[in-house]
A and B are shown apart, each in its own frame.
Chain A
């Protein structure tokens, strides 16, 4: 792929903006509260993700400290414990991973990569972000108000109905999902409209960078899944406040119906969180191997297949909810099918590296770490997909280890790969390579030490969402808690890296990664100007 972009005169974002915009440089309020610029909104999303990650991470440190020893007394109230685990799950998913990967990197780089001047609906874009920010206030209210919303992030009734979770906290948590959901839905519509309609001349669908494909598939998943969540959450709110009984057995309702609706959203949500990371990893691997992606078409179709099959496997979360034997077999087999396109992606990444000239810069370390740890998480996923084994492993720490391997390592490593890959393009300043590597290795050790022993705890039968446990589980819990302290210290290194980036005086060239980086964002200056393209780029 080759391209031309008329960027030689656009040296600095604001100079270019003032020179060509014909209107005054926006003030703080106008720029950040009423923004319609995809980069500014992307920055807002990344800021939101940063706040979300710090909050959710702090909650997980509290949890691991409580679990460090049996009969510990950091959290003495079961209600507080349940509020913390609920908020940790919701915040990490809706206010860290999604805003970082979709709202943040998606907003920043999808228009740039397809040669579009901005998102299709800039005001809608602004609205999406502020719905999400409001949602964060709601979810924090749910955590802090009264005894807190404590039904777990899966929100299963009857525990969160009016009888067993009285008080406003649970309503706040439910409405926070509505707000995050509307935000994601509007964002998804925006991405679909942008990608389908605003590609530069010559940027055909099958020339489009894989990150844009990942975001496109993700947006379709959101478009189809979020309304189902919204319906389920609305029914819960109705049950709580207006006397309906959608999920109340006493009124003819069914708690299992909620599980079906929730996981019809919840399973695609898993791919919503990981597909954008797949996209980022593809770019990073290709850039630092100095090779084009191996099997581009296979990569695209693998993502489409994963997205499609992701919609028909939801009841594998419900193997022990009393679904029929035939349903258990169908959902097991359908789930296992997903391993095939996922394997295509993993092998294609390795084949991309094969024959390359690999440079182990920080983003590449995160990407390689992503691939290997995601394979481990995928392997335990194949184990958990067995309905017969799920009868033993459901809801215990083996499951916790599994989904943290794909999220806390998979999605999070994807976020950091993207951060180190693009921070120069976003800020104009380089990150310190040494400290980036220190961050990677310390985080790698920390998360593995935290989550690998949890496999053992699960096999030994330790259930999830317990603030206290039988003394026999003390050993591995201690190791796991030490691991979480290492991850916490590693995050301090990341803060230092951030400080170094934003206090740096060095400015970067347009394409600071060199020959391996071939997508359009590398044709514009660093930092990318406020208006990316003054003229329409043409892709030949």
Chain B
């Protein structure tokens, strides 16, 4: 019994020291690590963003798998049509045949598409199960859509609840690495390498929580919580946009994620708790958060 207690104490002590050491190592700006790698849309991009999560990597794989099969189908139909148009044009084939039935052919074009669909369905269903498995997350963030900003509530960090507004066009500073229509004043900060669950909801109309580089998308629906999850292996900045029409500023509520190493994340939560906590004395007010952003007034200019 004594031995067990000692072991627990030792582990706890080790953890405390470890966390402190990690905090000591954290850089002055805990989000600096995220600016090393920016996963944003590129000019003339014609494929998915570089996969920022295993989920997006799986989506990318399945997309290529299905698209290649469908490309073969489209190519086959195209070649067939081109052949028919050349071979059976009136000049070359003046007398038409009157062929209207061929049981074998008709069975073949029922069976082969069915087999192709079966080939597609198998990996597709396993992806659905993978995407649905939001069990045992390291942490959960409640994401609430508002007209027209996002609110992030860290369920495990008392009082850490803040709003995230788009930086309006006239305040964008490209020298700071800000991207027009994508950068926000207070990004969502997440630790890398951990499973993160999103509890997505809305306070007013429908919104869409859409992170293309992470393969995450769910509607934010008032009165209900829809869940999804992600795991970001690489420190960096990731973007998303609202993807369900939500009123006049639908295009002005992007999502910016800073994924940083755990030590930086922990350092950031300390700072953020002081900076962002709105109601450190009272219970958190999810429904009407006090905007902490600098752009709350100017962002509604349209």
Categorize the interface residue count of chain B: 35 or more
- Contacts A343-B113, A350-B77, A470-B179 given; does A358 touch B84 at CB 8 Å: yes
A389 CB contacts on chain B under 8 angstroms: 59, 62-63, 66, 124, 127
The reply to whether B45 and A158 contact each other, CB–CB distance below 8 Å, is no
B204 CB contacts on chain A under 8 angstroms: 158, 164
A531 CB contacts on chain B under 8 angstroms: none
CB within 8 Å of B: which A324-381 residues: 325, 328-329, 332-333, 336-337, 339-340, 343-344, 346-347, 350-351, 353-360, 368, 371-372, 375-376, 379-380
CB within 8 Å of B: which A452-480 residues: 456, 459-476
The reply to whether A386 and B243 contact each other, CB–CB distance below 8 Å, is no
A344 CB contacts on chain B under 8 angstroms: 106, 109-110
Stretch touching chain B among A98-106, A285-293, A441-449, A498-506: A285-293
The reply to whether B120 and A336 contact each other, CB–CB distance below 8 Å, is yes
Query: Contacting B101 at CB < 8 Å: which of A151, A291, A295, A476?
Result: A295
Task: Give CA–CA (A293, B101) in the complex, Å.
Answer: 9
Stretch touching chain A among B14-22, B248-256, B290-298: B248-256
B121 CB contacts on chain A under 8 angstroms: 332-333, 336
B73 contacts A by Cβ under 8 Å: yes
The reply to whether B128 and A392 contact each other, CB–CB distance below 8 Å, is no
CB within 8 Å of A: which B83-120 residues: 84-85, 88-90, 93-102, 105-106, 109-110, 113-114, 117, 120
The reply to whether A396 and B243 contact each other, CB–CB distance below 8 Å, is yes
Report B163-178 CB contacts with A as 1/0, cut-off 8 Å: 0000001000000000
A140 contacts B by Cβ under 8 Å: no
A76 contacts B by Cβ under 8 Å: yes
The reply to whether A375 and B77 contact each other, CB–CB distance below 8 Å, is yes
The reply to whether B88 and A356 contact each other, CB–CB distance below 8 Å, is yes
Report B233-254 CB contacts with A as 1/0, cut-off 8 Å: 0000000111111111111000
B221 contacts A by Cβ under 8 Å: yes
Query: Contacting A460 at CB < 8 Å: which of B46, B70, B117?
Result: B46
The reply to whether B245 and A151 contact each other, CB–CB distance below 8 Å, is yes
The reply to whether A461 and B41 contact each other, CB–CB distance below 8 Å, is yes
Closest chain B CB from A166 CB (angstroms): 12
Report A270-309 CB contacts with B as 1/0, cut-off 8 Å: 0000000000000000000111111110100000000000
Q: How many A-B residue pairs have CB under 8 A?
A: 293
Task: Give CA–CA (A463, B244) in the complex, Å.
Answer: 8
B222 CB contacts on chain A under 8 angstroms: 158, 249, 255
Complex: chain A residue closest to B118, CB-CB: A336
B208 contacts A by Cβ under 8 Å: yes
B106 CB contacts on chain A under 8 angstroms: 295, 298, 344
Task: Give CA–CA (A468, B254) in the complex, Å.
Answer: 12
A254 contacts B by Cβ under 8 Å: yes
A460 CB contacts on chain B under 8 angstroms: 41-42, 45-49, 212
The reply to whether A459 and B219 contact each other, CB–CB distance below 8 Å, is no
The reply to whether B81 and A350 contact each other, CB–CB distance below 8 Å, is yes
The reply to whether B245 and A461 contact each other, CB–CB distance below 8 Å, is no
Query: Contacting B59 at CB < 8 Å: which of A82, A322, A375, A388?
Result: A388
- Contacts A340-B114, A470-B40, A472-B43 given; does A392 touch B56 at CB 8 Å: yes
A391 contacts B by Cβ under 8 Å: yes
Closest chain B CB from A115 CB (angstroms): 22
Closest chain B CB from A254 CB (angstroms): 7
The reply to whether A159 and B43 contact each other, CB–CB distance below 8 Å, is no
The reply to whether A82 and B41 contact each other, CB–CB distance below 8 Å, is no
B137 CB contacts on chain A under 8 angstroms: none
Closest chain A CB from B250 CB (angstroms): 6
A19 CB contacts on chain B under 8 angstroms: none
The reply to whether B210 and A463 contact each other, CB–CB distance below 8 Å, is yes
A469 CB contacts on chain B under 8 angstroms: 181, 251
Query: Contacting A256 at CB < 8 Å: which of B47, B217, B221?
Result: B221
Query: Contacting B90 at CB < 8 Å: which of A337, A359, A372?
Result: A359
- Contacts A391-B217, A472-B40 given; does A325 touch B88 at CB 8 Å: no
A328 CB contacts on chain B under 8 angstroms: 128, 132
A24 contacts B by Cβ under 8 Å: no
- Contacts A164-B205, A291-B97 given; does A461 touch B212 at CB 8 Å: yes
Complex: chain A residue closest to B72, CB-CB: A379
B153 contacts A by Cβ under 8 Å: no
CB within 8 Å of B: which A57-75 residues: 70-71
The reply to whether A343 and B41 contact each other, CB–CB distance below 8 Å, is no
The reply to whether B97 and A356 contact each other, CB–CB distance below 8 Å, is yes
Closest chain A CB from B78 CB (angstroms): 6
The reply to whether A376 and B84 contact each other, CB–CB distance below 8 Å, is no
Could you tell me how many residues of chain A have their Cβ less than 8 Å away from some Cβ of chain B?
93
The reply to whether A383 and B70 contact each other, CB–CB distance below 8 Å, is yes
Task: Give CA–CA (A461, B245) in the complex, Å.
Answer: 15
Task: Give CA–CA (A346, B40) in the complex, Å.
Answer: 40
The reply to whether B81 and A392 contact each other, CB–CB distance below 8 Å, is no
The reply to whether A325 and B132 contact each other, CB–CB distance below 8 Å, is yes
Complex: chain B residue closest to A380, CB-CB: B70
The reply to whether A463 and B41 contact each other, CB–CB distance below 8 Å, is no
- Contacts A321-B219, A322-B226 given; does A473 touch B46 at CB 8 Å: no
Task: Give CA–CA (A468, B100) in the complex, Å.
Answer: 53
Q: Which of B42, B93, B109, B224 has the most CB of A within 10 A?
A: B109
Query: Contacting A392 at CB < 8 Å: which of B48, B78, B95, B101?
Result: B48
A494 contacts B by Cβ under 8 Å: no
CB within 8 Å of B: which A190-230 residues: none
The reply to whether B245 and A465 contact each other, CB–CB distance below 8 Å, is yes
Query: Contacting B48 at CB < 8 Å: which of A150, A459, A465?
Result: A459
Complex: chain A residue closest to B225, CB-CB: A322
The reply to whether A391 and B89 contact each other, CB–CB distance below 8 Å, is no
Q: Can you offer 23 A-B residue contacts whose CB atoms are under 8 A?
A: A70-B181, A79-B248, A82-B245, A164-B247, A291-B96, A295-B100, A295-B106, A325-B128, A343-B109, A356-B88, A356-B96, A357-B89, A380-B70, A382-B117, A383-B63, A388-B127, A388-B128, A388-B131, A459-B45, A463-B241, A463-B251, A470-B180, A475-B44
**8 closest residue pairs by CB, A with B:** A249-B223, A78-B248, A461-B212, A388-B127, A355-B97, A322-B226, A379-B70, A456-B46
16 more A-B residue pairs beyond the given contacts A82-B247, A465-B251, with a C-beta to C-beta distance below 8 A: A78-B251, A158-B204, A291-B97, A321-B219, A332-B128, A343-B109, A346-B77, A350-B77, A356-B84, A394-B243, A395-B217, A456-B45, A460-B42, A469-B251, A470-B179, A470-B180
Q: Which of B's residues lie within 8 Å of A, judged by CB?
A: 40-49, 56, 58-59, 62-63, 66-67, 70-71, 73-74, 77-78, 80-81, 84-85, 88-90, 93-102, 105-106, 109-110, 113-114, 117, 120-121, 124-125, 127-132, 147, 169, 179-182, 204-206, 208, 210, 212-213, 215-219, 221-224, 226-227, 240-251, 302
